[in-house]
Amino acid sequence: MRVVLAEDLFLLRDGLVRMLEAYDFEVVAAVESGPELSKALAELEPDVAVVDVRLPPSFSDEGLQCALQARRARPGLPVLVLSQHVEQLYARELLADGSGGIGYLLKDRVFDAEQFIDAVRRVAAGGTAMDPQVISQLLDRRAQDKPLGRLTPRELEVMELMAEGRSNTAIAAQLFVTERAVAKHTSNIFGKLGLPPSDDNNRRVLAVLAYLDRG
């Protein structure tokens, strides 16, 4: 699996390259600036991009702007964002089209290699890998808005876990309920949000996340 990595800090960039290669990823480019990232994404067409938000030369939103531009040129390009903070505006914009794999992890909350590698693989396969804090902030922003405000506390818990990319089985284990109960909550969520139920976990999660971007 071919990866383009963008991270301005040398030690972190080198460590990520070594980790990815240890798990049989091919890092086709490891860059430190926005212009380098744009060029690599356009020319190398990787299977997944792992990008920091703030890159030279602006150290503002350079990484995400490059990722958004690349997704416009190549819809569905899998992108895993690594950031120190929850950049709500950019997270919503990245999630808005609901196509392809999307991930958003906070650097100081990635606790082991397996967690990170699982996120990269999930995003590359077209799924989602969202840090719970990112999801919570997106949900908090919309919690008072209808129809999201009609969800029960338990349905909000289920939706947060769905948005992280978890299966019904994983949600049931996390909440100590049956899979049948999770399926019922999921059906209720889609009904209240006006979204059609789907057996495709990735599509249902992306649909919910895209909904959160509206309004």
Digit-coded pLDDT (tens) for 52-69: 988 998 888 888 889 889
61-113, pLDDT tens digit by residue?
888 889 889 998 998 899 999 988 877 776 777 776 666 688 899 998 888 89
Domain count, the chain: 2
Residue 214 has pLDDT above 60, yes or no: no
The answer to whether residues 97 and 159 belong to one domain is no
- Please report the pLDDT score of residue 98 as a whole number: 63
Distance CA 186, CA 13 (A): 39
Q: 171, 145, 169, 176: which is closest to 158 by C-alpha?
A: 171
Which of these three, 140, 156, 183, is where a domain ends? Answer: 140
Same domain, 98 and 55: yes
Encode 43-67: b = buried (16+ Cβ within 10 Å), e = exposed. Answer: eeebbbbbbbbbbeeeeebbbbbbb
Query: Do 55 and 156 belong together in one domain?
Result: no
Q: Please indicate, yes or no, whether residues 198 and 127 belong to a single structural domain of this protein.
A: no
Q: Are residues 69 and 174 located together in one domain of the fold?
A: no
Last residue of a domain, one of 140, 163, 185: 140
34-45 residue pLDDT tens: 999 999 999 999
Q: Does 76 lie in the same domain as 119?
A: yes
Same domain, 157 and 132: no
One domain, residues 116 and 177: no
- CATH number of the domain to which 206 belongs: 1.10.10.10
48 with 129, same domain: the answer is yes
The last residue of one of the domains, among 124, 140, 156, is: 140
Amino acid 48: pLDDT: 97
pTM for this prediction: 0.73
Within this chain, do residues 9 and 96 fall inside the same structural domain, yes or no?
yes
CB 118 within 8 A of CB 145: no
Judged against a pLDDT cut of 70, whether residue 9 lies above it is answered with yes
What is the per-residue pLDDT for 27?
98
CATH number of residue 69's parent domain: 3.40.50.2300
Task: Kindly list the strands in the beta sheet with 79-83, ordered across the sheet, starting from the edge strand earlier in the chain.
Answer: 26-31, 2-6, 48-52, 79-83, 102-106, 128-130
What pLDDT is recorded for position 35? 94
Per-residue pLDDT at 211 exceeds 90: no
Residues of the domain holding 168 = 147-213
Q: Which residue has the tokens 């349905």?
A: 155
In terms of domains, do 116 and 176 share one?
no
Assess whether 79 and 20 both reside in one domain: yes
Q: What is the pLDDT of residues 142-156, one digit of tens each?
A: 555 556 667 788 888
